[in-house]
Each structure stands twice: as C-alpha cells, then as structure tokens.
Structure 1
Amino acid sequence: MGEYASGAVLPWPAYVPPGCDEPTMSESDGVRYLHFGTEWIQGAMRVARPSELVLAYTQQMMAWLLFLEPPRDSFIGILGLGAGSLLRYTLKHMPGSVVVAEWNPRVTHICRAYFRLPESARLHIDHDDAAVWVKRREHLGRYLCLMVDLYDAQAQGPVRESLGFYRDCYRALDEVGILAVNLFGNHESFPRNLANISKAFKGRVLELPEIDEGNRVVLAFKGPGLNVTVQQFLDRAQAVESGYGLPARRWAKSLLAQGMPAL
C-alpha cells in the first residue's frame, strides 16, 4: 500500500509483470531514497525541493544540454522512471513533452505516492519493457533526447545493453538527437555497453568523468557534425549553468581536457 501526503490510501497496481522488483524507501537529512529491497540507491528526492537533481549522476544525465537547446515542440524520452528525478527536472525546466518507459507499475505507484510525480498534460508514462518500447513505430524519429537509466535491484549494470537496443535508440531519435546513458564504470558491463553504443552511433560518443558513486554517463550523437569553437562551447556551458543551475562549465572543461573528439 502507498499513501499520498493528503492521507489517501493508494492500492498497489492490479497487475505487475513477473520479475518486477519490490520498491522500498528510506529517508535521511531531508532526502527520500528509492530502493529495490537492497541498500543500493535507485533514485532520490529532496523533500523540500523535489525538482532538484540530488544525485551527481542525474545532473550529468542532463549534460546533453551542452549541445542542444530543447525547443517548445520537442519530445524528451526517459527509459527507467526511478524516483522520477529526471522527469521532475525536465518538466520544470523544459517546454516540450516528456514520455517515460517504465517496466514496473509499482515504481510508478510509489512515485505517485511518495516522490511527487507531477500531473501534467505534457507527460505520458508507458508501462513497457524499454527494449520493446523503443522499437515501437510511434517512437521512430521522435525524440530530441533519450535518457536511459535501466538498472536492476543490485544497481551495478544496465539491464538493456545489446547492440540491437542501442541501434533502436538511434532510430528513435529525431534527425538531430542525443542519447544519454547511465553506466557503471567499475562493472564488467561497462566496456561492452560502450562498444555497443559506439557501434550504434558510428563512433560519435563522449564519456563524462566518473563520479564518486561509480556512475559513468555516456553521450552519443545523431545528426550533422558539431562545428563550434572552444569559446562557443564554453559560452554554451556558461548559458547552461546560468539557465539550468547545472555544473556545466566543469563538464565542458573536463571534456576539453580529454581532447574532445570531432563530433
């Protein structure tokens, strides 16, 4: 059972696909965390500021803003709802529509009950396997960005990682689009995922620096090559930092220090 802040009791979904993990919660110092019956954190929300991106890797998932400014008619796709952090942030800061693929209806349920899942005409949630969802005809060529954060209860390796899956992500992006994927740098799946993303996106891949928790965010690009000067890139980072409240200048300097390849 779940309970809204108003006290209304919310029953569990009538049908849950086999193999879905049971979501659980914890709370400390004003931050509410989502788990799947383990100590591993699957998402977080600062109760006083629910649209804030608490975890560093969720901030890095927005690093695609260094390269694209979302227009009013854009579609952003999120694969894996978690605690709804990326969803809440995107709806607050961007004008377009957000479509979420979430396999486990219980995750959506607990987000509605405890993680301030927004009610918005710009939001649609599909309860579907991300690997099936991304193949569907209605998603082909639709998304400015896909943010992929698909982990099981152990939270150490993506549950969808095949070359076919990443090629389907490529096809779901608009003519110009970016894939952002949360990987785990210290997990044996990292090189395999990186190789498959690189093949699917013709080598147009950037790796952001690994953060303390071990997460490693990878960006992959579709569309015309990027043709900007270093100063233009730094100016864009300043605009993202000012407009979105993200540490974009740090990301930009890190990418430049790595010798950012031609994209």
Structure 2
Amino acid sequence: MSIARQKTDGTRSRSPRKRSQAKRVSEPVISFSELDGIRYLHFGSPWVQGAMDIEHPDELVLSYIQDMMAWLLFLEPPARVLQLGLGAAALTKFTHRHCPDTATTVVEISQQLPWVARQWFGLPPEDDRLMLVQGDAADFVGDPANREGFGVIQVDLYDEEAAGPVHDGSRFYRSCYRSLAEPGIMVVNLFGRHASFARSEERIRAIFPQVLLLDPQDEGNLVLLALKGPPLQVSRRQLLARARVLEEDYGLPARKWARAVADQLGLGR
C-alpha cells in the first residue's frame, strides 16, 4: 500500500471492509474521490493512496510516483522489477506499458486491493509480464528463493495511519539488498518531514554503498535511491543527456532528477 501526503475533497464511494484469511490482515476501508478529472484512492481517510487521470489512465499523476521511476537515469529496464505495495497500480501500469521486456512482480498484503485496482484504476490482468503476490513484503524479500532476482525494487509501503513506513527495519532493507541483482537499485518513498525519515535514511545508508535523494515534493514525499554495485562513474553532461532521452521517451521530469543527483555527487557544470 502506498501514500502521498496530500488530501482531496470530492465525491466518494466505499468498498466494504473484509479480512484476509491467510494472515488475518485487517483490510483497510477503501474509498475513492474524484476531482478535476482525477480519481483518488483512500484508505478510510482523506490521505491519498494513489491517483489516476481518468482521461489518460496510464500517465503518472502524482509527482512522487513519477520520482519512483528515477532509476531509469542509471539502468535500462531490467528483466525483472519488484514492486512492494500496489496502491492505485500507477507504477505497475506504467512499467507494463513502457517496458515491454520487463516482467513485474507486485507484492500486496491486501486481498481486496488488486480487485479494486482492476475495477477502478485499470490494472491489467496478470500475464507472463505481470504477477501479483498476496502476501507480506518482508516475507517475500526475506525468502532466499528471491535472492538477486530483481534489477529494481520499488518500495511504497504505508497503511491508512501513515505513521511512517510499514516496514522500516534494517533486516527488511538488508533483505531488499539481497534480493537485488548487481547492479541494481532500490527506490523508496519516504516522508521527508516525518520523524521516521532520518532513521530510515540511516538504516539504508548502513546497508547500501551509495544512496541518493531526490528533491522533496510539496506534499512532503521524498524518494530515495539506494544503489547496489560499483560507485557511479558519470558526468553531469552524461546525466543530462540521459535525462533528455527519458523526457522524450517517457514524459518524465528527468532533468530535475539529473540536476539533483549531479549536485549530490559534486559533479561540475
């Protein structure tokens, strides 16, 4: 499950509450709102858990969700991507459409959210490039069978209370590291203004050899990229050239990412 730190007003519909029999998971009260052509996903509160442009359902609406694709600055789409937390399926749909040679595995603990994502947010059916796993993200990455299985891991794990990430321990991040191929990148949605941020960043930096931060969004979300593999060897010019390609091919704000990364790496102009 995912969250953006913003609220909406609009007409809402609700889905009933039910429980997972597999792990006795308390299912959130899922509701929706629509405003100015955007459909929003909520978990029983005004906080936004995902969004979709009704006219353009495959576009990435939320700024932090766009930032979750910043791994494209450094990697070509890998053979396998792991997404921890489904939300409104924006990342899933984007990868499925724009990365035809990539297979995506989505781990979502809620039993009802995949159905909601299909009915209301255009999640495509499972096929040889898309697999949904109902289960706990920490259990999945902790399974030795998934060691070095993914080129990219996207982590967006928040519940309806939004009181910091659901999984935020060193053991979890170490399992993510082990589940990455080399080179590989873990991308994490964090709350830059939340008390949990410094703790999260410290734990990730203790495990990954290189960590980069994108600029925080107005709503407070801040995306962190943790790299597995040798240190980056890149110039500012190369980053900006790559960013221009990404903007043309994917319509993503890649030059903003490139400038943020170049500044952190101390790359000359």
Partner of 2:11: none
Q: 1:55 to 1:260 in 2, by over 3 A?
A: farther
Instruction: Report deviation, 1:200.
Output: 1.4
The answer to whether the aligner puts 1:81 opposite 2:86 as a matched pair is yes
SS of match in other structure, 2:249: helix
Instruction: Report deviation, 1:81.
Output: 0.1
Q: Which runs of 4+ in 1 moved over 4 A?
A: 10-14
Aligned AA (1:191): A
User: Would the aligned equivalents of 1:146 and 1:179 in 2 still touch at CA under 8 Å?
Assistant: yes
For residues 223 and 146 of structure 1, what CA distance do their matches in structure 2 show?
14
Partner of 1:23: 30
Instruction: Report deviation, 1:14.
Output: 7.9
Aligned AA (1:125): L
Partner of 2:199: 192
Q: 1:243 to 1:260 in 2, by over 3 A?
A: farther
The answer to whether the aligner puts 1:254 opposite 2:265 as a matched pair is no
For residues 120 and 257 of structure 2, what CA distance do their matches in structure 1 show?
32
Partner of 2:123: 117
Partner of 1:57: 64
Partner of 1:231: 237
Q: 1:119 to 1:11 in 2, by over 3 A?
A: farther
SS of match in other structure, 1:178: strand
Partner of 2:103: 97
The answer to whether the aligner puts 1:210 opposite 2:216 as a matched pair is yes
Instruction: Report deviation, 1:94.
Output: 0.5
Instruction: Report deviation, 1:191.
Output: 0.5
Query: Which consecutive unaligned segments of at least 5 residues does structure 2 have?
Result: 1-14
For residues 172 and 98 of structure 1, what CA distance do their matches in structure 2 show?
14
Instruction: Report deviation, 1:59.
Output: 0.3
Aligned AA (1:190): F
Summarize deviations over 1:80-113 as a string: whole Å, max 9, x none: 0000011011101112100000000111121121
User: Would the aligned equivalents of 1:44 and 1:85 in 2 still touch at CA under 8 Å?
Assistant: yes
Instruction: Report deviation, 1:137.
Output: 2.5
Partner of 1:4: none
For residues 160 and 147 of structure 2, what CA distance do their matches in structure 1 show?
30
Farther off after superposition, 161-170 or 15-24 = 15-24
The answer to whether the aligner puts 1:165 opposite 2:172 as a matched pair is yes
TM-score (norm 1): 0.90
User: Would the aligned equivalents of 1:22 and 1:106 in 2 still touch at CA under 8 Å?
Assistant: no
